[in-house]
Amino acid sequence: MTSHRHITTDHDEIRGWIQAHHGAPARTAATTDAVGALHIDFAGVRTGALEHISWQEWFTAFDAQGLALCYPDPHVRGGASAWFELVPRGLGGGFHP
């Protein structure tokens, strides 16, 4: 994990970051007793059974679960990393709504 990170819940910013890194909203396949966990599907990176879902469905679950997207600070030089984490809101005091 990088020490220069940016944490946000802004839907437009999140969608833009994911699309800039060629990702799509996804979740693990739901079981009969649970909704699948949220993921971002980066082409050719994630293996396993992911199902693509709409942005609306992804953000509805994202907000309901109280999540934020944590990714490398976009102002730090050194490339465009696709590293990210879905974290609880308010983690680490670096929360930027």
Question: CA-CA-CA-CA torsion for 45, 49, 52, 53, nearest 10 degrees?
Answer: -130
Give percent above pLDDT 70 in the chain: 69
pTM, to two decimals = 0.76
Q: What's the chain's average pLDDT?
A: 78
Alpha-carbon span 32 to 13, nearest angstrom: 33
**Cα–Cα distance, 78 to 91 (Å, whole number):** 24
Which tokens is 41 given?
A: 């599907």
Residue 31 has pLDDT above 90, yes or no: no
Residue 59: per-residue pLDDT? 96
Q: Output the pLDDT for position 93.
A: 46
pLDDT beyond 60 at 68: yes
